Amino acid sequence: MYKRMLVLLDGSKLAEVVFSYVRELSGRLSLDIDLLHVCSPQEAEQLYMRQAYIEHMTELLRVQSEEVRSTIGDQPPKKKVIEAKGKVVIGYPPDEILKYADENSVDIIMLATHGFSGIRRWGLGSVADKVIHEAKVPTWLVPAQLHEDILYDKTPQRIVLVPLDGSKLAEEIIPHVKELTKQRGVETDIRLVHVAKPKEVSVPPKEKELIGEDVTAFRTTGEIYLEGLVQQLRDAGFQAQAEQLIGDPAEEIVRYATKYHPRLIAMSTHGRAGFSRFVFGSVTENVLRRLQKTPVFLVRPLEKVA
């Protein structure tokens, strides 16, 4: 169960887009909140002012999160009250973020995908890249142009999109999706998609013997793979469906998300299989850059990619 999220701030208005999302998420999932701001040694003289800012925002978020929880009727409540605290530290942002997460029982790290402090930029650059690659807990990326329907949970369907590539590494996202769905406590449609390039689409030998060359009649290897995962989710009590997509992985994921407007895209940062390959810096980063209104939940698999 997720209990505490670390929210990263760089002092910009763009980064504050996470505030509204944080209060909604905290209230609906009963998550405690840690706000963290990392400044450089050159900015040390502003430490008191920045600490005052963080403390103000911390209390504001705590009150607003409780208001959200009371509005949705968290009965029985998952906890007595939502706790919140804020801290400003001096140092190199990625190192301080990872250190704080390790030392404070953080379950999720959340940051805006765009933001700046002075000339520094917290986009999909050095800070976010290192945090995503090295964090031991999931990273929740919130776009600066977050869709309002997603922000306030007003989308017609509560869809969580889960792109897979056929590998066990990519499948490590599934337990997290199940836990988030259970903790949220409302009906959620889990959509599994597998993307294969045309030349990678294959028919299992036994089925090919039956259908010959009539490719319109076969179930692809990817479809059979997805059917097994969907059945496992349904057997566990989750609402799930799947679709085999053919084409460029990033292009097809973006196309699917644009059509169905998921509330969240959840995927592993690494994957490997004969079908295709999801690696942050290529497919995942391409999806993040093009879907600028949809939050993305990323998990670094425990097993290393060879």
- Ordered domains of the chain (ranges, CATH): 4-146 (3.40.50.620), 149-299 (3.40.50.620)
What is the model's pLDDT at position 277?
Answer: 44
Q: How many CB atoms lie within 10 A of CB 238?
A: 18
The pTM of this model reads 0.82
Residues 6 or more apart whose CB falls under 8 angstroms from that of 188 comprise 158, 159, 160, 181, 238, 239
What is the model's pLDDT at position 295?
Answer: 87
CA of residue 60 relative to chain centroid, distance: 24
What is the model's pLDDT at position 116?
Answer: 42
- Ranges of residues in the chain with a pLDDT under 50 are 115-124, 210-212, 214-218, 273-281, 305-306
Q: For 13-41, how does the pLDDT look when each residue is reduced to its tens digit (9 = 90+)?
A: 666 677 888 888 898 888 999 999 888 78
Token output for 204: 């299992």
| CB-based contact 22:7 (threshold 8 Å) | yes
Token output for 58: 């911390």
Q: How many CB atoms lie within 10 A of CB 263?
A: 21
What is the model's pLDDT at position 297?
Answer: 92
What is the model's pLDDT at position 47?
Answer: 84
| CB-based contact 109:97 (threshold 8 Å) | yes
What is the model's pLDDT at position 279?
Answer: 46
Token output for 221: 């290897």
What is the model's pLDDT at position 196?
Answer: 76
Q: For 220-265, how does the pLDDT look when each residue is reduced to its tens digit (9 = 90+)?
A: 778 888 999 999 999 999 999 999 888 888 888 889 998 998 989 9
Question: Which residues of 153-262 form beta strands (DSSP E)?
Answer: 159-164, 189-196, 239-246
